[in-house]
Amino acid sequence: MSQFEQLAQEFLAQKRIAVAGVSRNPNETANAIYRTLRDKGYEVFAVNPNAETVEGATCYPNMQAIPGGVDGAMLVTTPEHSALVAQDCVAAGVPRVWMHNNTFAPSSVSDAGTAVCRQNGIVVIDGGCPMMFFDPFHKCMKWVLGKMGRLPTG
């Protein structure tokens, strides 16, 4: 098992996960990830400072506003915002961060955000997508990207 798969399985073993970058537009990638986690039984929390509700649930302005905190944060934002959200995760005591990377579109991965996480003892996955562990199409993509050497190394 690769380090990426090990870190991803550890992240997905958690039950309270925040998804930063959800939108009022249900067609956004963050929303699809949010819905998938919710439908798989996770307790998910939408994070977007510009929305009060998303996907029929309360939307929080930042990680620190989530009652009881979370076990992990999925970042589906621009790299610039990912670096800021990583700092918010430090302040909120979030132990795990996963920065989403869409293979064919812009990534959420931020070198600055990754550094903030690592400097503060947060386990970080800088790339890939949790859908690779749920959806048959994405599982196939994980296999292909693995063969191409394009999965995160951890």
What is the 3 state secondary structure string of 139-153?
HHHHHHHHHHCCCCC
The CA-atom distances, in angstroms, between 88 and each of 55, 92, 94, 97, 142 are: 23, 6, 9, 11, 29
For residue 42, what pLDDT band results from cuts at 50, 70 and 90? very high
Average pLDDT for 35-64: 97
pLDDT at 103 over 80: no
For residue 129, what pLDDT band results from cuts at 50, 70 and 90? confident
Domain boundaries, the chain: 3-148
Average pLDDT for 106-122: 92
Entry pTM = 0.88
Q: What CATH superfamily classification does 3-148 receive?
A: NAD(P)-binding Rossmann-like Domain (3.40.50.720)
pLDDT at 148 over 80: no
For residue 134, what pLDDT band results from cuts at 50, 70 and 90? confident
pLDDT at 58 over 70: yes
List the structure tokens of 5: 């798969």
